[in-house]
Each structure stands twice: as structure tokens, then as C-alpha cells.
Amino acid sequence: MEQRCAGLFVQVCVLFFVLLTAPSLAFSAADYGLAFRDGPVDIHADQFRFEEEDETYYADGDVIVYYTGGYLKADSVILQQNTDTVYAAGRVFLKNNQDVLEGDRVVFNIKTKTGTVDEGRMFAAQNHVFVRGSQFEKSGEATYRVEDAVATTCDGPDPAWSIRGKELNVTIDGYGTIKHGAFYAGKVPLLYSPYFIFPVKTTRQTGLLLPDISYSKNKNGLDIMLPFYWAISEDTDATFYQHYMSKRGFREGVEFRYAFSPDITGVIYGDYLRDRLRIEERSGPFARDWDENHNRWSFYLQHESSFESGYYIRADIARVSDRWYFKDFSSRNYYRQHYDKGQMNPFNKVSFEADASMRELDSKIRAVKDWSLFNLTTLARYTDDFSAASNAHTLQQYPEITLTAINQAIPYSPLRLEFVSSYNNYYRQEGQKGSLFDVNPTLMMPVSLGRYAQFTPRAEWHGSFWSSHGDKVPQVDSNGLRSGYVVGGILTSDIQRTYRVGGKSLDKIRHGIRLELDYTYGDNNTDVFNTPDYASSFARQNGITYALINTLMTKWVNEKTGPEYREMMRLKVSQTYRLDPDRYTLSSINTNNSHLGPVEMEWDFRPLPYVTVRNRSIYDIDSRNWLRSNSDLVLTTSRGDSASIGYHYTKGLIEEVNLALRARLTRAFDVEAVLKRNELSSRTVEQTYAVNYYHQCWGIKLGYSETADDHRFFVSLNLYGLGFGL
């Protein structure tokens, strides 16, 4: 589970416990030219004596006490064997790896694990936490008290921020209290609480996360998010999102996460708002005229369980109260913050981009069983269609059962087989509904034509059986069968050549050319008037498709990790020559009935690790127009600068330009800018500008964002070691 820090005093007390149990620690003496010692206690001092009568060791003058793997340093040390007590005074210094405890006087009982430190100062390296207090006291097995406590993660004698309390009491795995606690910015107190109680966990710490503050001119007004994190157990935690919007009211969101094992994880989230904003909207395909106190809510469930037998279950369920939820809360919502960006985080698995452009929202539950050559998937899907006036006509799918055979050899024959078969049950409140069973086997036989070529003929058959009921359409059969077939073959040829560069970094470049010629003939016996609308028709086709693929692979020299191989470029150009143009169904990329189909191009280019170019385009040679063109250029630097520009075009539907820039001006400052413009309607969709400042122990982000329906100012503060801005 992720660590979310908020109870800073808990870290202090845990470290205090570790340092006071010094006989079991490993201290690092590298900073003082000292060596580790194994075995029992070893004492070095200018003066040393042992009193047998009271079994006490006395050491004075530059005393160094070596424990098993560690040390204590002080002006004088007394060790009483009969009482198991250690007294250290005068510039007392304890070090554990990079963690340090200093004080004027230390008294510690090895047997009871209790003790005190007068005028103590402590540093915990893991979270870079400094703490001082007039007295540290460990009074029980897991009970601690710090008087006049001051804690911060800032270096130097005058910290930029600190937390101060008259008295801190903590019981590990129990509860902690702070009396007369205050948050200071420099030497100025900003927040005060006479008494605060909080649960305490040693691994993850319960407490308030840092707030996120913004101002929205049209939508939300003053917008304040204050999260509270609760470490429930080692396997579970929860976050409460208190969200106040001056124009809308108070929205409460709750997230519950669990990780019972690496293979069983999940998250449940929900929020509710009694929206008091009066909304009258006539733009767009749907109008709304809402009075105050409108109920708004969302719910999300994501669960995944994996088993050693190759079986796993995954649930992704998302529901919202209305079609305008993501439009109204597009600037900040839980779903955008937890979008799956491919970072393998088990709790950032939202599969959709939750913004104003969402047209539908799917909820899915799937159970999957994998074998070496087969896959069985059972799926249930529910869809909320935001582009329809009512969801009554939206086709729902449950269950869908699919058995897939991966391409495999047929024993004792030169043939190979792959097939997909599925059963679907479709339902909706109004319209046709029913079941559909599909079978699609494919036979192929690869034939080598020498060193540079291979020919693979194939034959596939499609068969569908349906049973339809519900609201009927004239001429649609209640039960029926449709079938179709595709025959053809693909000829491939691969040629490669390697060029030796012999540079210090770049060693070799390999150029590869692959040519593909694919003939396909397909027919079917489907009568579209007799087929239910949830059963798609089989494509009729007769044509030859060529594809030319160029690749450049590079080998780089890395003395530390060994050779590295990268694909520097991949360019694919393909086109279909239609032997019978009338057999092809017109679509967005087949807009005419000529013999030559559109040219499709795919280009990926990465000449250097910090330069990436990507293009996907479709060009109609008859009309001499681009039907689709999506291009992106991304530049990055090792210090954190980045710039990207994207042009996305689909004829008659989309033409937009997206710009994003992040520039590191200094080690402390960087700036960000985002611009999204719809060239089709000649309007700016979004423009956002932000400035980030990074200090050693805190950071702040200030920004302004403008969209078609709102203007927003925002500020986010991050106190390192204490919490995280959202």
C-alpha cells in the first residue's frame, strides 16, 4: 500500500524507540573514523574504572561505547549492571545508519526499555525529519512523551515551517495526543489546536493531508479540498475527501483501499453532493433547468484477484448520477487523479479519461482463465450512454462468454488453427434484445519460399445463431442463422542489413524491410433485413492489400549495464486495391467506390531518447484529402524540461491542436503551460498556466486555467514529509 504521511510526530516517536534500544542496533561511525565491533559491549575512554561492589562501570573523557554493530558517544558514561541502567551525560551522540539522536543527558534501562533524554535533538533520515524537545521520555513498552516538541523537515536553525506542541503523548498501535499544538510558518503561528487525538500506526500514518485551494469563477466559487487519511490496518486504509465549494455546497468523498496480498487488491470510492447551484443550460444536445438542491453522486469499484492456476477476476464498475457529472467537475475529480497511466499502480486503475468530452461510461466484470494455448473470458457489461436522451435504448451486454484458441499447430499436419467462439446475451428496456452465438475458426498453412519469402494461405468461416425477442421490427426473424467465409493468402518477404557505426555510444544500426501482399475474398449469406440490429453483418470484400514496413534498430554501448537495443524508427505504408469495389461497405475510411482505397500510414520515430515522433494518417488519393491525421511530437531533457505538440484531425469531426510545455528555469522554479484549441470551431478549449516553486522542505504551485465555461485560479502547497498536495 502507498505511504501517505500526515502524523509527523509518530515518525519521531518510532525513531526515539529505535534509538533507545541501542544494544540491538547497528550504528555507523564512518563520520568519526571509527570501526565497527562485534561481540559484547566495548568501552573506550580517557579514564575508566569498575566498582565491583555495585557492579558499575565509570568512563570519563571522550567516551565511546561500542554495541554490537553500533556506538554511543558522550563526555561520561555510567553502566550499572545490577540495575541494567545506562547514564550518559555531556554531548551525548547516538547514530543509527543516518539517523541521529543527541542530548545533554540520557538515562536508559536496558531491561524495561524505558528512559529519558534531556534537551534532545533528533534526525530521522528516511523522511528527513528534525525534532527537538526539552525532554524525551519512554515510559512503557510502546508509550512515549515529548515536552516542548518542535518538528520539521527543513534544514537550518530557522525552519520555513514547523509543528510545535507543549506536550506530545503517543502509544504505538494505539492513540496519540497533542496538547497546545500549532503549525508555524517561520516564526509565525498559523493554526492552533488546544487538544488533538489521532490513531497511530507505525507503518502508515493517519492524519490530515495537505489542502488544495482554488477559485472557480463560474462553476464552484471558492474551492477547498481537505483530505484525511486513515491507516486502518496493514491491509486496508481509507481517505475522506472533504470538499467545500462556495457556490455548490459540501461534497463528501470516501475511498477505501485493500491489498490482502499482491494478487488481491481493490478500491471502493463514492461521493455525494447536494448541489445548490442553480443551472440553466441550453447549449449542446441536451438542455437542463435545475433548481437548487440537486442530488449529485458517483460510485466506483475496482477489484482484481489473481490465482496461480492462470485464473483471475477483475471488476471495474463506475456510475454517476447524471450525464453532466464529469462536465461540471472536470477541473478536479477523483477519476482524473487516479487515471491508469501505465505505471503499474494497483490503485490507479481508472480506465477512462474523466473529462467533459465523455460520451459513455462502461461498467465491466470479467473472469478470465488462461491456458498455454487457450483463453476463456466471461464478461458482463453495462453502459451509460451520455449522448442519448434516455438509456432505455442502450444495448447492455451480459454475459459475454468467449473462448479463444491461440494460433497453434494441428498435430501430424502442416496446418495451423486459430478460432474465436462467443456467446452474448443482449438486453435493453426498449428495442430488440436476445442472444447471439458466434463461431469463427481459421485454418492456415505457412509455406517457406526460400530464405527471404513465406506464403501463408488461409480460410476462415463465420457463423452466427441468434434468438431475438422484445420489441420487434418487421421482417426480423426471431431465430436465425447467418454465415460467411473469407479465403485468401499473405505473401511476406523480409530483408535486413546491419551497418557498423563503431561510435563510443552507437555501435550498430540494422535496417529491415518487410513487404506484405495479402489477397482477401469474403462473402456472406446475410439478409440485413432479417438480422437483429445487435448482430453486425459480415464484411464482403475482394481485394489485394500491400504493406511496406521499414524499421531501424540500433545497438548502443553501455559499459555498466551492457548493450542496449532500441527501435529508432518504424514506418508502415499500406493500401488496398479493390478488385470489386461494389463489395466494400462505405465508411469513414472507404468513402468512394473506386478500385484504389485510401493510403494508411503509421510512423514512429525516436532518433534520441529525448525525442519522440508519432503519426497515424489516412489519405484518400481520389479526393486528394486527408481523412485522418494524428501527429504528436514530444521533447524531454534529463533535468525535467518537456514540450509536446499534437495535431489531431478527422475529416468533418475533429481538428484540434494541443500544446504542453514545462520549463525548469532554475533548480527552484519551473513553469507549465497547456493550450488546447479546436480549429474546427475556431475556439480555445483550454488554456492553463502554472508556476512551481520548490524549497528544500516545501513547495507551492500557483496557476490559472480557462475553459469554455469557466475560469479557475488554484494553489497547491506541499510540505515535504508532512503530506501531499492533491
3-state secondary structure labels for all residues of 283-336: CCCCCEEECCCEEEEEEEEEEEEECCCCEEEEEEEEEECCCCHHHHCCCCCHHH
**The C-alpha cell of 261 is what?**
496480498
pLDDT above 90: percentage of residues in the chain: 40
CA distance 254 to 266: 14
Q: Is residue 175 part of a domain?
A: yes
Residue 654, pLDDT score: 87
CA distance 195 to 333: 33
Residue 346, pLDDT score: 80
From 622, 573, 629, 615, select the one nearest 597 (Cα to Cα): 622
Average pLDDT over residues 283-308: 87
Largest CA distance in the chain: 112
Check pLDDT > 90 for residue 637: yes
Q: What are phi and psi of 651, to 5 degrees?
A: -55, 125
Residue 471, pLDDT score: 67
How buried is residue 14: exposed, middle or buried, by Cβ count under 10 Å (0-12/13-18/19+)? buried
Beta-carbon count within 10 A of 444 CB = 18
Q: What are phi and psi of 326, to 5 degrees?
A: -75, -25
Helix (H), strand (E) counts: the chain: 3, 42
15 confidence band (pLDDT: 50, 70, 90): very low
- The domain in which residue 23 lies consists of 8-205
Residue 586, pLDDT score: 46
User: Which residue do the cell numbers 573514523 mark?
Assistant: 33
Average pLDDT over residues 261-273: 94
Q: Indicate the number of domains in the chain.
A: 1
DSSP letter assigned to residue 38: -
**The C-alpha cell of 324 is what?**
453532466
Beta bridge partners of 315: 303, 365
Q: Do residues 501 and 508 make contact, with C-beta atoms less than 8 angstroms apart?
A: yes
488 confidence band (pLDDT: 50, 70, 90): very high
C-alpha angle with apex 320: 314 to 321, nearest 5 degrees? 150
Ramachandran class of 363: left when φ > 0, alpha when ψ lies in -120 to 50, beta otherwise: beta
Looking at 54-63, 67-76, 358-367, 613-622, which range is the least confident one? 67-76
Q: Is the pTM of this model over 0.85?
A: no
Average pLDDT over residues 86-113: 80
Residue 284, pLDDT score: 63
Residue 98, pLDDT score: 67
Classified as helix, coil or strand, 415 is coil
Q: Is residue 581 part of a domain?
A: no
Looking at 2-16, 289-303, 556-570, 701-715, which range is the least confident one? 2-16
**The C-alpha cell of 254 is what?**
470516501
Check pLDDT > 80 for residue 50: yes
Cis peptide before 211 (omega within 30 of 0): no
212 confidence band (pLDDT: 50, 70, 90): confident
pLDDT in tens, 655-668: 999 999 999 999 89
Give whichever of 51-60, 201-210, 535-544, 545-554 has the largest mean pLDDT: 545-554
CA distance 417 to 410: 7
Q: Computed over its alpha carbons, how large is the radius of gyration of the chain?
A: 34
Q: Is residue 313 part of a domain?
A: no
**The C-alpha cell of 267 is what?**
478500491
Check pLDDT > 60 for residue 691: yes
532 confidence band (pLDDT: 50, 70, 90): confident
Check pLDDT > 50 for residue 100: yes
Q: What are phi and psi of 19, to 5 degrees?
A: -70, -30
Check pLDDT > 50 for residue 341: yes
What is each CA distance from 549 to 168, 543, 601, in whole angstroms?
69, 20, 10
pLDDT in tens, 597-610: 899 999 999 998 89
pLDDT above 70: percentage of residues in the chain: 84
Q: Is residue 723 part of a domain?
A: no
Q: Is residue 131 part of a domain?
A: yes
- CATH number at 14 reads 2.60.450.10
Ramachandran class of 336: left when φ > 0, alpha when ψ lies in -120 to 50, beta otherwise: alpha
Beta bridge partners of 513: 495, 550
Average pLDDT over residues 500-513: 90
Check pLDDT > 80 for residue 722: no
**The C-alpha cell of 116 is what?**
529519558
Check pLDDT > 90 for residue 185: no
CA distance 267 to 204: 17
pLDDT in tens, 388-399: 888 988 999 989
2 confidence band (pLDDT: 50, 70, 90): very low
Q: Do residues 463 and 486 make contact, with C-beta atoms less than 8 angstroms apart?
A: no
CA distance 235 to 172: 18
From 551, 540, 558, select the one nearest 486 (Cα to Cα): 540
Beta-carbon count within 10 A of 153 CB = 23
CA distance 588 to 580: 19
Q: Tell me the residue type at 474.
A: P
Residue 170, pLDDT score: 64
CA distance 270 to 252: 8
Q: Is residue 659 part of a domain?
A: no
Average pLDDT over residues 589-596: 66
CA distance 128 to 420: 56
**The C-alpha cell of 684 is what?**
480555445
Pairing of strands 221-230, 212-216: antiparallel
Cβ-Cβ contacts under 8 Å for 102 (sequence gap 6 or more): 91, 92, 93, 94, 120, 121, 122
27 confidence band (pLDDT: 50, 70, 90): very low
C-alpha angle with apex 232: 231 to 235, nearest 5 degrees? 95
Classified as helix, coil or strand, 273 is strand
67 confidence band (pLDDT: 50, 70, 90): low
Residue 623, pLDDT score: 86
Q: Between 302 and 19, name the one with better pLDDT.
A: 302
Residue 171, pLDDT score: 62
How buried is residue 40: exposed, middle or buried, by Cβ count under 10 Å (0-12/13-18/19+)? exposed
Q: Is residue 496 part of a domain?
A: no
Q: Is residue 106 part of a domain?
A: yes
- Which H or E element spans position 16? helix 8-20
Q: What is the mean pLDDT of the chain?
A: 83
Residue 562, pLDDT score: 80
Cβ-Cβ contacts under 8 Å for 398 (sequence gap 6 or more): 379, 380, 381, 382, 425, 427
